A and B are shown apart, each in its own frame.
Chain A
Amino acid sequence: MILASLVFPPIDEILRWKPFFGEGTSYAFNKIGLIALMATVATLALFIAAGKKRALVPTGVQNIAEASVDFIRDGIIAQTMGSRKEDVAWTNYLTALFFFIVFTNVTGIIPFIQMPATARMGIPAMLAICSWVLFIAVGVKKNGLGYFKQAVVPPGVPKALLPLVVLIEIVSTFLVRPFSLAVRLFANMLAGHLLLVTFSVMGHALFLAETKQAFFIPLSILPLILFIAITVFEVLVVFLQAYIFTILTAVYLGGAMHPEH
Chain B
Amino acid sequence: MSILATAAEAVEPLTSPEFKNAMAAVGAGFAYGLAAIGPGVGIGIVVGNAVQAMARQPESAGLVRTTMFLGIAFTEALALIGFVVFILLKFA
A11 to chain B: closest residue by CB: B91
Indicate whether B34 reaches chain A with its CB closer than 8 angstroms: no
Q: A187-B83, A188-B80 are in contact. Are A247 and B91 (CB under 8 A)?
A: no
Stretch in B9-17, B51-59, B70-78 with 4+ CB within 8 Å of A: B70-78
**Residues in B8-45 with C-beta less than 8 Å from chain A:** none
Q: A243-B69, A244-B73, A247-B69 are in contact. Are A187 and B84 (CB under 8 A)?
A: yes
CB of B87 within 8 A of CB of A247, answer no
B73 contacts which chain A residues (CB < 8 A)?
184, 244, 247-248
**Residues in A182-223 with C-beta less than 8 Å from chain B:** 183-184, 186-188, 190-191
B90 contacts which chain A residues (CB < 8 A)?
11
CB of A244 within 8 A of CB of B80, answer no
A187 contacts which chain B residues (CB < 8 A)?
80-81, 83-84
Which of B66, B70, B72, B81 is in CB contact (< 8 Å) with A183? Answer: B81
A247 contacts which chain B residues (CB < 8 A)?
66, 69-70, 73
Chain B residues engaging chain A, CB cutoff 8 angstroms: 62-63, 66, 69-70, 72-74, 76-77, 80-81, 83-84, 87, 90-91
Chain A residues engaging chain B, CB cutoff 8 angstroms: 10-11, 75, 79-80, 180, 183-184, 186-188, 190-191, 240, 243-244, 247-248, 251
